């Protein structure tokens, strides 16, 4: 079982690249992308599913049957279902979240888009998300999509990463900097 996140990311990227190439060849990129978004939402909504993907306790055929049933119930199409089945058969289901992320990155790159990862203390409203997209698009000169996550430990504010640039406007970071500054003056 994989323990290194870079190892898992590498495996996910390889599988995602193969799927992306196949989808481009067959002209089904948008349909498969929508199905993969559905799968990502299922994983995000269920801690049990996320744990199941990582668990070495289940045999590959058990994982395959369970995921087949879940894909059917969620209305996921054949390309994405076969992709998940391939990961299960090869004992690589733990890399599914990384593969979903890598596919999304490949899709954005092919469209000339940049994905910004935004972490906030509370979920962003539609208006906040649109304003953030607009400002970031102006800054980077490309269409920006937002991959939003919530981390309540930030207390307030926002951390945004676009490529190698990071903007940290979180309250937690500001308080940490203030504490360091106050220790320096003591």
CATH of the domain at 71: 1.10.520.20
Instruction: Tell which of 88, 108, 128 closes a domain.
Output: 108
The four Cα atoms 66, 67, 72, 73 give a dihedral, to 10 degrees, of: 70
20 and 99 belong to one structural domain: yes
Q: Is the pLDDT of residue 122 over 80?
A: yes
Q: Is the pLDDT of residue 185 over 80?
A: no
52 and 90 belong to one structural domain: yes
83 and 13 belong to one structural domain: yes
State the alpha helices, DSSP H only, in the chain.
Answer: 5-26, 29-45, 47-54, 60-74, 78-89, 96-110, 126-140, 171-185
CATH number at residue 155: 3.40.30
pLDDT of residue 47: 92
Instruction: Tell which of 77, 108, 139 closes a domain.
Output: 108
pLDDT of residue 84: 96
104 and 119 belong to one structural domain: no
Number of domains comprising the chain: 2
Across 167-182, average pLDDT: 81
Q: Is the pLDDT of residue 3 over 60?
A: no
pLDDT of residue 181: 84
Distance CA 90, CA 44 (A): 23
pLDDT digits (tens, 9 = 90+) for 43-62: 999 999 999 999 888 899 89
92 and 119 belong to one structural domain: no
123 and 91 belong to one structural domain: no
Residue 186 — pLDDT band, cuts 50, 70, 90?
Answer: low
119 and 77 belong to one structural domain: no
100 and 136 belong to one structural domain: no
Among 111, 67, 112, which Cα is nearest to 87's?
A: 67
The residue to which tokens 């209305």 are assigned? 75
The residue range of the domain holding 158 is 113-185
95 and 121 belong to one structural domain: no
Q: Write down the pTM of the prediction.
A: 0.71
The residue to which tokens 């289940």 are assigned? 58
Q: What is the share, in percent, of the chain residues with pLDDT greater than 70?
A: 97
Distance CA 12, CA 101 (A): 8
Axis crossing angle, helix 96-110 with helix 29-45, rounded to the nearest 10: 140
62 and 32 belong to one structural domain: yes
Residue 2 — pLDDT band, cuts 50, 70, 90?
Answer: very low
Instruction: Tell which of 53, 76, 108 closes a domain.
Output: 108
The first and second tokens of residue 118, run together, are 């935004």
Q: What is the share, in percent, of the chain residues with pLDDT greater than 90?
A: 49
CA 17 to chain centre: 15
Distance CA 49, CA 70 (A): 10
Residue 20 in contact with residue 29, Cβ under 8 Å? yes
The four Cα atoms 61, 47, 42, 151 give a dihedral, to 10 degrees, of: -140
104 and 117 belong to one structural domain: no
Q: Is the pLDDT of residue 145 over 80?
A: yes
Mean pLDDT of the chain: 89
pLDDT digits (tens, 9 = 90+) for 73-88: 999 999 999 999 999 9
Q: Of the given ranges (7-21, 64-78, 163-177), which has the lowest mean pLDDT? A: 163-177
**Which residue has better confidence, 1 or 66?**
66
Q: Is the pLDDT of residue 1 over 50?
A: no
The DSSP element (H or E) to which 118 belongs, if any, is strand 113-120
The residue to which tokens 């999509």 are assigned? 145
**DSSP letter (8 states) at residue 142:** S
132 and 46 belong to one structural domain: no
């Amino acid at each position: 079982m994989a323990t290194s996140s870079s190892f898992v990311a590498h495996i996910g990227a390889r599988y995602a690249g193969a799927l992306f190439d196949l989808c481009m060849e067959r002209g089904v990129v948008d349909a498969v992308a929508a199905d993969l978004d559905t799968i990502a939402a299922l994983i995000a909504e269920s801690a049990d599913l996320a744990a199941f993907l990582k668990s070495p306790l289940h045999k590959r055929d058990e994982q395959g049957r369970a995921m087949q049933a879940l894909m059917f119930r969620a209305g996921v199409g054949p390309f994405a279902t076969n992709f998940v089945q391939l990961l299960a058969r090869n004992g690589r289901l733990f890399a599914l979240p990384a593969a979903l992320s890598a596919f999304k990155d490949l899709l954005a790159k092919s469209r000339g888009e940049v994905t910004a990862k935004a972490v906030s203390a509370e979920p962003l409203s539609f208006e906040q998300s649109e304003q953030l997209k607009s400002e970031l698009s102006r800054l980077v000169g490309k269409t920006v999509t937002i991959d939003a996550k919530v981390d309540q430990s930030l207390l307030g504010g926002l951390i945004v990463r676009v490529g190698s640039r990071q903007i940290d406007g979180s309250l937690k970071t500001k308080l940490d900097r203030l504490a360091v500054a106050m220790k320096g003056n003591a």
